[in-house]
């Protein structure tokens, strides 16, 4: 699991398997591992991922998206070819991977306002739905009433027969991944006798890119309509509803549980008490002088200095522009002010359901937040720490989905 690196004087130093050394940009390295690890659930393939990575030129901001689109288009064409020859299963597998590669392209797209973004989103949806059809995966694409529009989701029914009522697992991701990325969650749930709903809320996946709905901090206003939807199914046990959030969802799901009392179990992976603290800490480490301007209320100067700093750092430029887009902010200072609402420090004691708080020893984005959430909770609670030894130590266990689902679903089975 760890490489042994020989050093002078016959000393030996343990060297972690991560980072992989594929990309210099740490975000691209993390995202690449996410899609590489999806091979475990057949959403990608190892050679296709490495081949795509080998063509990406980090010095060009559009290269990441361009190369993943090329791979997606190739797999899409392969799916068409298989289907023309009546090979339904291999067509479905090809479409499934094509959908993943289109999502990968959109994960780090240089211009979220470009017409291509909507076009790729529609291609992703069609390929995923075609995959579900040709692979005979029992799922219904649903539209959940939400304010004056709808939330897109996928409704999976339990594969365990003989029950009149089934528990239900509701799942959403965070700021970057989509509902489709977590097909494995739904498939593992239905094998265990749960119904499962995967959905994209405001600021996420399809809802952001097709309806331009940004994130909202009061996530209970999103989860409430989702719960209303699932309990309309007469086969759902209303007393056994679980909510799971990954990544930024590790803040959003507990936030929903502070007000949505129909939730009986809640999983935060990783747990986050204050999302804004994590963002502020990261920015302060990157540029403390810039952050001091914001804290001093010098917003106009902050925006000007931020724009100048963004021009010197492509990684930072993409990160700020992407976050502004996902939160519907017009300026960096407006974005920072919006983020101040993303904490449950004053509401955490309102959570009454049983909580599972997850953390990783190599957590890159929410370091320390899981323990803060766990310590603040006054409800029944459990804590899981993934380590480098079990390979699940990174943010949301990329490349280690087998140990991730083992521990998460064991906990669900024990309590649901």
* Whether residue 222 sits in one domain with residue 159: yes
Residue scoring higher pLDDT (384 or 4) = 384
3-state secondary structure of 350: helix
Domain of 76 in residue numbering reads as: 3-131
Residue 308 banded pLDDT, cuts 50, 70, 90: very high
Give the per-residue pLDDT at 247: 97
Rounded Cα gap, residues 129 and 134, in angstroms: 9
Q: What is the CATH number of the domain that holds 122?
A: 1.20.1440.110
* Whether residue 223 sits in one domain with residue 269: yes
The answer to whether the CB of 181 falls within 8 A of the CB of 107 is no
Q: What is the pLDDT of residues 39-78, one digit of tens each?
A: 999 999 999 999 999 999 999 989 999 999 999 999 999 9
Q: Is the dihedral of CA 304, 307, 309, 312 positive or negative?
A: negative
Q: Residue 10 pLDDT > 60, yes or no?
A: no
Rounded Cα gap, residues 342 and 275, in angstroms: 5
* Whether residue 363 sits in one domain with residue 230: yes
* CB proximity list for 23: less than 8 A, separation 6 or greater: 29, 32, 53, 56, 58
* Whether residue 108 sits in one domain with residue 148: no
CB atoms within 10 A of CB 298: 14
* Whether residue 330 sits in one domain with residue 237: no
* Whether residue 388 sits in one domain with residue 263: yes
* Whether residue 189 sits in one domain with residue 207: yes
Rounded Cα gap, residues 101 and 78, in angstroms: 14
Give the per-residue pLDDT at 377: 98
Mean pLDDT calculated for residue range 298-311: 95
Mean pLDDT calculated for residue range 292-299: 96
* Whether residue 218 sits in one domain with residue 197: yes
Give the per-residue pLDDT at 13: 55
Q: With helix as H, strand as E and coil as C, how does 213-233 read?
A: CCCCCCCHHHHHHHHHHHCCC
Q: Which residue has the tokens 């939400």?
A: 146
Last residue of a domain, one of 97, 131, 165: 131
* Whether residue 54 sits in one domain with residue 115: yes
Give the per-residue pLDDT at 367: 85
Last residue of a domain, one of 319, 339, 359: 339
Rounded Cα gap, residues 297 and 54, in angstroms: 45
**How many independent structural domains does the chain possess?**
3
β-strand pairing of 149-156 with 140-146: antiparallel
Q: Long-range pairs for 60-63 at CB < 8 Å and ≥24 separation?
A: 61/110, 61/314, 61/318, 62/110
Q: What is the CATH number of the domain that holds 357?
A: 3.40.50.1820
Mean pLDDT calculated for residue range 371-393: 97
Q: What is the pLDDT of residues 318-349, one digit of tens each?
A: 889 999 999 999 999 999 999 999 999 999 99
Dihedral of the alpha carbons of 213, 216, 219, 222, in degrees to the nearest 10: -20
3-state secondary structure of 127: helix
* Whether residue 152 sits in one domain with residue 56: no
* Whether residue 258 sits in one domain with residue 173: yes
* Whether residue 152 sits in one domain with residue 259: yes
Rounded Cα gap, residues 160 and 162, in angstroms: 7
Last residue of a domain, one of 339, 364, 386: 339
Q: What is the pTM of this model?
A: 0.95
Mean pLDDT calculated for residue range 147-162: 96
Give the per-residue pLDDT at 314: 82
Residue scoring higher pLDDT (300 or 8) = 300
Q: What is the pLDDT of residues 96-141, one digit of tens each?
A: 999 999 999 999 999 998 999 999 999 999 999 999 999 999 999 9
| Span between the terminal Cα atoms of the chain, in Å | 34
């Amino acid at each position: 699991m760890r490489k042994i690196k020989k050093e002078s004087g016959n000393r030996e130093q343990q060297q972690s398997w991560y980072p992989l050394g594929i990309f210099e940009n740490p975000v691209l390295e993390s995202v690449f591992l996410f899609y590489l690890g999806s091979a475990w659930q057949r959403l990608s393939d190892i050679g296709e991922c490495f081949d795509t990575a080998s063509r990406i030129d980090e010095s060009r901001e559009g290269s990441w998206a361009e190369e993943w689109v090329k791979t997606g288009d190739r797999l899409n064409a392969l799916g068409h070819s298989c289907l023309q020859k009546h090979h339904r299963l291999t067509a479905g597998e090809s479409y499934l991977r094509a959908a993943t590669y289109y999502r990968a392209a959109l994960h780090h797209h240089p211009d979220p306002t470009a017409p291509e973004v909507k076009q790729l989103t529609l291609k992703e949806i069609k390929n995923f739905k075609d995959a579900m059809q040709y692979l005979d995966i029992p799922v219904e694409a649903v539209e959940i009433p939400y304010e004056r529009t709808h939330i897109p989701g996928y409704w999976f029914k339990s594969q365990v027969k003989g029950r009149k009522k089934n528990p239900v697992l509701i799942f959403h991701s965070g700021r970057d991944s989509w509902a489709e990325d977590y097909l494995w969650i739904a498939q593992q749930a239905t094998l265990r006798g749960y119904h499962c709903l995967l959905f994209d809320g405001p600021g996420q996946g399809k809802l952001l890119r097709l309806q331009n709905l940004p994130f909202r901090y009061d996530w209970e206003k999103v989860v409430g309509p989702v719960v209303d939807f699932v309990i309309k199914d007469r086969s759902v046990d209303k007393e056994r509803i679980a909510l799971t959030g990954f990544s930024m969802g590790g803040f959003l799901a507990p936030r929903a549980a502070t007000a949505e009392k129909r939730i009986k179990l809640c999983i935060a992976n990783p747990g986050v008490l204050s999302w804004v603290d994590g963002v502020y800490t990261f920015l302060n480490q990157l540029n403390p002088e810039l952050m001091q301007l914001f804290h001093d209320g010098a917003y106009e100067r902050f925006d000007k200095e931020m724009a100048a700093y963004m021009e010197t750092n492509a990684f930072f430029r993409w990160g700020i522009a992407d976050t502004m887009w996902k939160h519907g902010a017009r300026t960096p200072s407006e974005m920072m002010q919006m983020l101040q609402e993303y904490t449950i420090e004053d509401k955490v004691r309102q959570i009454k359901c049983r909580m599972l708080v997850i953390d990783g020893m190599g957590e890159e984005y929410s370091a320390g937040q899981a323990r803060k959430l766990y310590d603040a909770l006054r409800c029944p609670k459990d804590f899981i720490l993934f380590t480098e030894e079990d390979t699940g130590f990174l943010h949301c266990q990329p490349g280690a989905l087998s140990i991730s689902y083992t521990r998460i679903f064991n906990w669900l089975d024990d309590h649901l």
